[in-house]
Structure 1
Amino acid sequence: MKELINWLPPELASLPRYVVALAIGLLMGLERERNPAAKAGLRTLALTALLGVLAAHLATTLGELWLIAVGLFLVGAMMIAAYLHAAQQESDPGTTTVAALMLCYGLGVMVWHDEIQLAVMLGIVATMLLYFKPELRGWSQRMSRHDLLSVLQFAVLALIILPLVPNRNYGPYGALNPYQIWWMVVLIAGVGLAGYAALRLVGQERGAVMLGLLGGLVSSTATTLAFSRHARTNRDMMPIAVIVIVLANLVVEVRLGVLAAVLAPGVLPQLLPVLVGGLAIGGLGAIYGVRLLRPQGEMPALAMANPTELRTALGFGLMYAIVLLAAAWLSDWLGTRGLYAVALVSGLTDVDAITLSSLRLYDLDKLPVAVVVNVVTLATLANLAFKSLLTLVIGGWQMARHAVAGMGAIGLGLVVAWAIMRGFSA
């Protein structure tokens, strides 16, 4: 924008700002023009955006900033008067159009003050909100009180508490950073909420494959428990339960790879081949299981707990902090053997905590990449062994022998890929 202004004569230096504001107004106006009930369309919103730039221009030039507020008041009053004068018996009172016009005016003011990129982004987002009204209304009507509570709790975790948490290292070895600990809580809660929302939107009727993938994103342990119970109570559900459980545990490898890519990209070159090995051999086992078991029948309802429940989130944060401190202490006291012991024990019930702790220690230059890969591999193997035991105890031998074979294929892939990587690094 600055380069373009430099090419223009001085008397036209402000023209590009007016052009950008006009484009924003036309974009928003195109959507409003399609709505017969709206009292503002293409021309009105375009002119309103130009008015915003003009008001900011005059206010800056004359040193009278109150002109901006007066312009905003006049735009709102004009549209309210237009809707009152029409006196139409319509379900839409026009508040959305009034808000869109006032926003368009404000975006014009932002353009004058060189907030051009932000103004354009907000204009596009506003147009999308206006255009997708039916879809947004349908989603809101399908949301239960439980779903809305999950969203609100996640908003509290991410947007209220997280900015207030101090971003400093505390405790022995400087291993405890409250901001990082809470960020992990937000990250895990967000992943769980995304999977839960996808599960709610897609529905159960899409079959075992989709439910396994989404169930693994929400919680592979919860999915394993739920479908082990389904297999015990209804033997006809055994083939579906096995496939859902194996696929859910395959998703864990993808989730660990995403976490490593976000938090410690330097670990990926050595960790990714191990995870891909588990996915490859485990995926072949899952395909063989689908062909062998040929699942049929209706999907049972999978009852998932609130993925962003505060008690669960706080419990994970506490567990993460304890594992982080224990890992740093044992690593300093016993070397890598102590950290491996923590990985085996904590991995029995949860892979995320020890994985995130190890990635954090890597960022603090307290762990080499090879040790992080070993820790993640051991924790994942321990977790697979624990869930295999769950399927045996809860689902019974007939179901467990197939599920254990599938999870064993994942574990085999991890071990083979890990051994190959060790051979290359030796």
Structure 2
Amino acid sequence: MGNSAILSDIGLEFIQAFLLALGIGMLLGLERERNPASRAGLRTFGLVTLLGAVCALIAERTGSPWLLPVGLLVVGAMMIAAYHRQPDANDPGTTSVVALLLAFCYGAMVWYGLRTLAVMLAILTTVLLYFKAELQTVSQRLTRRDITSVLQFGVLSLVILPILPDRNFGPYDTLNPAQVWWMVVLISGVGLCGYAALRLVGQRYGAPLLGVLGGLASSTATTLVFARHARATASLTQLALVVILTANLIVLVRLAGVAAIVQPDILPALLPILGSGLLAGLAFVAWAWHRLGRAGALPELELRNPTELGTALTFAAVYAVVLLLSAALSERAGSLGLYAVALVSGLTDVDAITLSSLRLFGQGKLAAGEASTAILIAVLANLLFKLGIVAGVAGRHLALRIVGGFSGVAAGCLAGWFWA
């Protein structure tokens, strides 16, 4: 009975592995079956993943690891020969060959116990295969400046970050080059996502979406640009109100997301502040958008590339200075010193003081309440600075409308801070 139970368990393991491998292959093959030029479809992909699992099984049981690379070469040679016999000028078959080789590898991964990873990779592969037309459209719409932005972000995150030392330097033992640059990468990545979404989606989905994308890329730039539009064209005042308010609400969402990545332990103290401000601001935006009606054509929103090396270095310098000042003043003057730094730095850049506060909280130098209060002060100072931009650029008419929305956000944040 014992041997029978063992054999039964082994048989169940075989069945699960082979069925999963077959399912992965048929998922890939389903997409390839829709392509008339493809030499492989449902059956071929299903059989290839089964072959990968079988080769892995035999290689493991017989101690013959060479079976896997041989099987992979055979599959590749078979597909290349198929395309060579019936060449297609419009489809050289490279995509199908690579997809079939991946299918073989996924089958082997299933046998070796990497089932979750194999399924995830198979789904991602199918997505890449299926959205060929959309990916081509995106590629064609990218300009040289857009590609430069992606490459610059690659330099920031994959070239500079790995070579920086990951240890503390300087006074108060607060400056860590790798940590400082990781914050640069994080903020640049958020800005790049907003910039890319704005470039790809365009301005055709209305003012709220334009405010969301502009807020992700740069709330300050969005505020300035639409204040100028409101000054130049009086009919755009209500539109500018919606876009500017939305962009500055996204700042709260962005700060919550950054905190969740950098120091999730602070969220219980920080989310009531940001969430209350967001809800209050959303009510005002909904009212303003309802009054806007159909805005018609939206003005262009041109933003600066958020991944330029000069921009990254400037942010790194600002972040390092704010971090040092926060550590020094919080040690010498207590929380009041930190709040003073938050007030001054938050006027122009809420990200630097937020990241500095999160860093000090992570080092145990700040309590959650102190860090959250510093971030609140920075947010309020930043709203005051944006209001000054609107008043100085667009004039009193738009500024009076913005005051209502910003006051609602500030009141919501303060209420959340009071009850937190």
Q: Give the TM-score taking structure 2 as reference length.
A: 0.91
CA-CA distance at 1:13 after TM superposition:
5.7
Q: Give unpaired runs (5+ residues) of structure 2.
A: none
Name the SS for the 2:204 alignment partner: helix
Confirm whether residue 361 of structure 1 aligns to residue 360 of structure 2: yes
CA-CA distance at 1:283 after TM superposition:
3.0
Q: Which amino acid aligns with 1:114?
A: G
Distance change in 2, residues 1:284/1:102 (3 Å): closer
**Within-5 A mapping of 1:402-413:** 402-413=401-412
Confirm whether residue 174 of structure 1 aligns to residue 178 of structure 2: no
Q: Which deviates the most, 261-270 or 41-50?
A: 261-270
Q: Which amino acid aligns with 2:345?
A: S
Give the aligned length: 416
Contact 2:29 2:41 in 1 (8 A): yes
Contact 2:206 2:295 in 1 (8 A): no
Partner residue, 2:318: 319
Q: Which amino acid aligns with 2:90?
A: S
Partner residue, 1:50: 50
CA-CA distance at 1:415 after TM superposition:
3.0
Rounded to whole Å, the distance in 1 between the matches of 2:199 and 2:354 is 28
CA-CA distance at 1:223 after TM superposition:
0.4
Rounded to whole Å, the distance in 2 between the matches of 1:14 and 1:250 is 54
Contact 1:216 1:248 in 2 (8 A): yes
Name the SS for the 2:165 alignment partner: coil
Rounded to whole Å, the distance in 2 between the matches of 1:40 and 1:388 is 61
Rounded to whole Å, the distance in 2 between the matches of 1:294 and 1:48 is 56
Rounded to whole Å, the distance in 1 between the matches of 2:205 and 2:10 is 63
Deviation by residue 1:99-132 (Cα, 9 ceiling, x = unmatched): 1111111222323333222222212211221122
**Within-5 A mapping of 1:2-401:** 8=8, 14-88=14-88, 90-290=89-289, 296-401=295-400
CA-CA distance at 1:347 after TM superposition:
0.4
Rounded to whole Å, the distance in 2 between the matches of 1:334 and 1:398 is 41
Name the SS for the 1:206 alignment partner: coil
Rounded to whole Å, the distance in 2 between the matches of 1:107 and 1:94 is 20
Rounded to whole Å, the distance in 2 between the matches of 1:214 and 1:244 is 10
CA-CA distance at 1:61 after TM superposition:
3.7
Rounded to whole Å, the distance in 2 between the matches of 1:385 and 1:420 is 23
Contact 2:255 2:351 in 1 (8 A): yes
Q: Percent identity?
A: 52
Rounded to whole Å, the distance in 2 between the matches of 1:298 and 1:389 is 27
Rounded to whole Å, the distance in 2 between the matches of 1:280 and 1:15 is 52
CA-CA distance at 1:367 after TM superposition:
0.4
CA-CA distance at 1:12 after TM superposition:
7.5
Q: Give unpaired runs (5+ residues) of structure 1.
A: 422-426
Rounded to whole Å, the distance in 2 between the matches of 1:399 and 1:117 is 54
Name the SS for the 2:151 alignment partner: helix
CA-CA distance at 1:315 after TM superposition:
1.8
CA-CA distance at 1:10 after TM superposition:
5.3
Q: Which amino acid aligns with 1:402?
A: R
Contact 1:239 1:294 in 2 (8 A): no
Distance change in 2, residues 1:283/1:112 (3 Å): closer
Distance change in 2, residues 1:15/1:332 (3 Å): same
Distance change in 2, residues 1:82/1:278 (3 Å): same
Rounded to whole Å, the distance in 2 between the matches of 1:157 and 1:118 is 28
Q: Give the TM-score taking structure 1 as reference length.
A: 0.90
Distance change in 2, residues 1:11/1:245 (3 Å): closer
Contact 2:345 2:353 in 1 (8 A): yes
CA-CA distance at 1:43 after TM superposition:
1.6
